[in-house]
Structure 1
Amino acid sequence: MPPHVLRAVFVAGSKNGDLNCPACKTPCELQDGGVSELKDNFYMSSLVDLVVERRKLASGQDRVCELCEDKEVSHFCTECRQYLCVNCERTHGKIKATRSHKVRLISDLNEPEVERQSIAEHDVNCPTHPESKVQFYCDTCQVPVCIACTVVDHRVPEHAHRYLSVAADEYAVQLKDTVTKLKLKEDCIDTNMTAVKKWRDKIHSLFDQEKEKVNSKAEELVQSVRNEQQRLVKELHNGRDARIKETDILIEEFEFNHTSVNSARNYAETLLNHANPVQLLSTRPEVTRRTDELLKIIDKWEEPVDGVEFDEAASDANLGRIKADACVKKCLIENFPKTVWKGDKTCLIIRTRDARGNDVIPRQILNGTLNKPNGEVVHLKFSNNYNGTLSTIFRADVEGKNSITVTIDGQAVPGSPFAFPTRTGLVRTIGNRGNGKGEFNRPSGIARDSRGNIAVADTDNNRVQIFNEALVFKDVITFPNFKNPFKPRDVGISDDNTYFMTDSGNNQVVVSKEGGQLIRCFGQDELKDPQGIAIHPVDDNVYVCSYRSNTVEVYTQDGERLRTLGSPGRGQVVLKSPYSIAIDSQGTLFVSNALEFGHVYGCDTLGKMAMESEKLEYPGGIAIHSDGCILVCNKSSFLFLRRVA
C-alpha cells in the first residue's frame, strides 16, 4: 500500500484532531505539512498490502494469471506481488532476475506462519525513489534509505550510512531488552490492578460490616430512632461510595496503563520476531519514545490504611434531648460559696426548673458575669449537664467584694447579683496539740479526695484523721493490730478515693477505703522509713519516698513493684534522704531531699533529671501551685520555687 494510504489509516483512528497510532497507541501531532509529513511505517504498509491481497482472495472471484492472463492462479510472488499460474510460476523461477523471489501457494496464504513470513519477505521500495529498494540505514536521520537517497538527500559527510542488516541486528538486541522491560512493567501493573480490585472488594466488606452494626443497634431502640438509623446507613453508603469511586478511578487508570503497556509490548515482540530490518528500524524512534513514556508510569500502590467503625458509645448523644422553657423565678443557684479564696477555681451550679418546679433542660441561653472590685467584668460560659443543671467555673483573682450576675432571657435569677468576699492569707486554724478528735501530735502529711474531704497523717497519734470540706472532723483511720505501731507519714488518694498511706513504723504502704477498711499492704521488702507518697495523674502508679534507702520506689496500685528511681550509676537523679514528693499535671516528679543543704529535684518517671533547685536548708514538704510554681517548706521559711524547664 502506498505510504499516503497508510497515513490515511493512521488518521482514521484519531479523535478530535489527535492522532493515535492504531498499533502502539502512540499519540502524534500533525506538523505544518499535515498528514503528508507523517513518517512511513514499512511494517504496517506490508501488513496492509497483505490484508488487501487476502480480501481479494476472500472475494470469491476467479482470478487469472497476471503474466499469461489465461490460466487459473495457483501461486503468489510476495516480492512481485503477482498472482501466477503453474506454468508461469515455473518460468518465474527460471528467470535470473526473479529466481530468488519467494513464491507461495495460494492455499497457504491464510496460514498465520506463512502470513508473517510474507510480511517479512515483502520488498520495500524507497518512498522517495520508488524504483529503488531500501538497502541502507541513515544513522543521522534514523531512517532506512535507498542507494539514490545516499547521494541526494542523505549524502556524506552530512549523513552517516551503513548497511541495513548491520543496523537492524544492533537494534534487535536493544528491542529484545525493551520487550523484557515492558513485560516486567506489564506484570507490575497487573499485580497492582489485582490488589486494587481486592481492596475494592474489601471496602464493600468493611462497609457491609459497619452497616450491620448500625442496623443491629438501631433495632434495639424504639421506633423514634429509625430516622437516625437511616441517616447513619446513608452516611456509611456515602462514605463507601466515595471510596469505591476512588478505587474505580484507580482501576480505570491501571487498566488504561496496562492496555497501553501490553499493546506496546505485543507490538515490540511482533517487530522483534517477524519484522525485517527495514520494518524494524523504521519503527525505532516511535517505539523508543513510547517505551520511555510507559516505563515512567507510576506502578506502585499501597493499601491505604482506610478502615471504618460505628461508635455505639456516641450514638445515644445523637438521639437528641427534650428541652423546655425554664421559669426564671423557679431557678436557683445551689452551691454559691460564702467565701472564695483568691486564685482558687470555684464551680457554680444553676438549677433550672419549669413553672411547675420540675427540673428541665432549658431552651434559653444562660448568661453570667463576674464583677470584680476593680470594675473589670468577666463573662462566664455555662456548660449544660443535661440533668436539669448548668455549671460554670470561675477564678476570683482580685481581693475584696466580688459578685456574680446570672440572667435567663435577660431576667435575673432570684438573688442575682450574688455578692461574695475574696480573701487571701491565713483563713483559719483547726486543731491543737492532743490526741482527741481534731487534735494533732506531729501532723506530717495531708491530702484531699474528690469529695472535698481532707485526710491528715497524725503521725505520733498513730492515725489518719478525716475532715469534711468545711474542716469539721468526720472520721479516723487507725490500724491497732499491726506488728509495730502504725506511723502514717503521708497520704495519697486515688481517683476512686482509695487511701494510700506510708507507714514508717512497719516500712510499708497501707491501702484502705475512706472508712478505714484495710485492702492491702505492700513494700515491706524494699521500703526503709517511707515518707512522702504521690499518685501519678497519668499512669496512676504510686511513687513512694524511701527515706533511708535514698530512693523513690514505684508501684502499681495493686502493690506490684515496677522500678526504683535514684539509683547511682543508672543515669538517674541521685537522691539523698528523699522526704516529700509531688507530681504536676504533665507527670513530672518533684522530690525534696531533707538533708542539710539539700535540693529539690525534678525528674521524669524513669528518673531522668529535668530540674535542680539551688541549695536549701532542710527542704521538707512540697506541693505544686496552680500556676506551675513549686511550693517548698524550707526549715523555718516557706519558699516559692519557679519550675526550671
Structure 2
Amino acid sequence: MAGAPATSNSFLGDISEDFLSCSICLEIYKNPKVLPCLHTFCQQCLVTFKAKSGGVLKCATCRIQCDTPIQELKSNFFLSSLLDTYQRQRQLSTDHPQECEICQEKTATHMCVDCPQFNCDGCVTIHKRILALRSHEVLTLEKYKEIESKSHLNEQSKVFCSVHKDSHLEFYCDTCQVPVCYKCTIVKHRVPEHRQRDLQQVVDEYKTQLRKILGQLQVKEKQVEKLKSAAESTREGILNHYEAEKVKVATRAKEMIERVKREEKMLIETLDEKARMGLKDVEMSINEREFHHGNIVSTHHYLETLVHHGNAVHLLSTRTETMKHMKEMVAMETKSLNRHDITEFHPWREHAMMGVIQSDVCPSKCTVENIPKQLLKGVPVKLLIKTRDSKGNQVIPRQDVTVKTKNPDASWEGIDVEDNNDGTFHVTIMKKMVGIHQVAMTIANQHIPGSPFHIPVIQLVGKAGSEGQLSYPWGLTINKHGDFVTADRWNNRVTIHDSDGNYRQSFRFTDQFAKRFSPCDVAISDDNEYFMLDDSNKQVVVSDENGKLIRKFGSSEIDNPFGIAINPVNKNVYVSEYDKDCIRKYTQSGVYIKSFGRSGKKQKEFHRPNMLATNSKGLVYIPDMKNHRIQVFNSDDQFMFEFSSTGGSTMSHPRAVAIDKNDHVYVSSEHKVTKHDSNGGFICRIDSEKDGLNSPHGVAVCHDGRIAVVDRDNQCISVLEK
C-alpha cells in the first residue's frame, strides 16, 4: 500500500476494530477485497470460504453469489487507508519511541505524510534526495502530532500506481473506468483509444451521484427499518398469540379433566343405581323362595312324622285339609328367576367424553311420538322414538333401533335413524308416492307398540310458495301432459302445475278484456285448445296451450257461468248457468246452439247447476247443487236419469263431476268425494276424514288414476288415491 490520508482523532474515534475486522476470520483485514455487494473480506478468507462452499463464492454476510474470480476482485483502498491510519495513530499514541521504518535501527524523528512512514534523521535526508519523493511533505513528529491533534491535517491521500510505483494516481480512464497515473496515460491508456479526465473531477461527480443515491438509500433504510419493526412486532405477536393459545390448551385440559371426573362420578352412580335396583328385585325373589322353601320343608317333615308315628285317627282327622294344602303346594309355580336387564358401559360416544351406560330395552314399553294422521307428498315429518327398560325407565339401548317403510307398490325402504344418545331417536319420514305407507319400527327385531303404523300420503298442489300459490281456486282439469290446469279465480289466471305439483306457467290475459280475467272453470278440446270460462266478462276464452288468445264467445247469452265441459260425441261446448238454472250449448267455434233446463225441482229442472262433465258415450252429468242430486242427459239433451245416494246418506250440495276412462263418476260434494258407476250407483268414498277437505270444488281424474280435487277454502289441490 502506498499512501493513506492523515485522519483526525475524532474520526478515528468513531471507527471500531469491528469495522476494520474481517467477519470471517474476525481479525484485522489483510489485503481486503470488496465484493459486488460492497461487503469486504480478506482475500485469503474468500479463497478458503469458497473452497468450503463447494467452489461457489457467496457473501458470508448477505449470501449473494459472486461470479467474479477472487483474483479479479477490486481492493478496498478505503479500508486499507483506514487500516494504515489506524495503525499509525496507535503507534503515535503509545509512550514508546517510534522506530524508523527505513533503517529499522534508529528512533524515528520525522513522519512522511504522503508515504506514510516514520523516518530517523538520516533516512529523512535520503528520502528528500530521491527525485520521485521530493514532493512529499515530511514533518517532525512533534509538528505532525500538533497538527493532527488540531484536526488540521486534511490533505488528500496520494495513492501510488500499482504498475508505476513512483507515480501518483491523478487521472481517471473513462474507457476502462479505473484510476491511472501520468505514465499509464502514455503506455496502456493512450488517447484517442482511451479517454482520461482529472481524478478529482470524476470524484466530485461521483460524490454528487453517491449523495443522491445515499438519499434514496436513506429512504430505503427507513422503509426496511419499518418492515423490520413490523416483523419484530409480528414476532412478538406470534409469541404472545401462541402463549395465549397454550393458556387455552391448559384451560381446556383442566376443563376436560373436570368433565371426565364429573362423567366418571355420574356413570358410577348410574351403575350403582342399576345394581341396587337389580339386587333389590333379586333379594325380593330370594326372600319369596326362601319362604316357600321353608314352608315346603316344614310341611314335608310334619307329614313324614305323621305317616310314621300317627294312628288312623291322627291321619284321617285332617285328611281334607292336608290333601288340599299338599295339592296347592305341588301345583305351586316354580318358574326360574326372571332374567335381569343387562347394563353395560360403552366407551366414548359423540356427546360424552368417557362413554355411556347402555341397558336392555323392553320393546313393549317403548313409545313413538308425532305419528301423523297423514303426510303431505314431499313434506318431511320428524318422529320421536323413546326407548325404555322393563320398568318403563328411559334408557340408552344396547339393541339396534331400525325403521323401514313399505310403499304402496309393496317395495320396502330403509330409513335412517338419528341417535340422540339419550334414549331418544329421531326419524324423518318424507314420501313422494301418494297412498298408504306402512312404517315399521323395531328394536331387537321386535315391533314397538303400534308398529307398523299405516300413514296415508296425500299430494297438495299450489298450497305453498309464491308464484304457484293458488288463491280461491274453482275448476280443475288435466291436460295431455298430465298437468293440473286450475281456474285460479282470485289470482285472475289459469294456473298450470306439473304432476309433481311444481309450478309451470299461467294464463292471465292482462288488459285484453273490458274487465279483469276471472276464470271459474276450464275444459280442453281434442285439438288441445283451452276453453276457459270467464265469469267477470261473461264469456268463454279460447287459447292454445301456451296461453295465446285464439277467440272468445258467449257474451251475448252467458250471465253467471259456473262450469264448462266438451262432449266427446257431438264436440259441443256445454256451459252451466248458476243463476239462470240452465245449460247453454255452443259449437267449439263459438256459435250459439241452444239452452235447456229451467228453475225447479222436477226432472230437467235445476237449482244452481255447477261444474258438469261428459262420459265417453256423450252422457252429460250435471251437479244440481241446491236439489242435492246429479241429473244425466244424453247428447241430444234428453233426460236419462238422476242419482243422489252416497251409500246410506243423501248427496249434499254436489259441486263438480269428473269421469274416468271406464266411465266411473266422481262427485265432489260437501266435504267429501265419492265414486259411482256410470248409472249413479254408489261405489265408495275416495277421501277420508283425515284428508280434511274444506269446500271441495273442481274434481279431475289424473293419468295414473288418482283423483284430484280443488280444496277451495284450503286454497290447494288435494290428490287422492282411488
TM range (shorter): 0.3 to 0.5
TM-score, reference length from structure 2: 0.38
Give TM-score, length-normalised by structure 1.
0.41
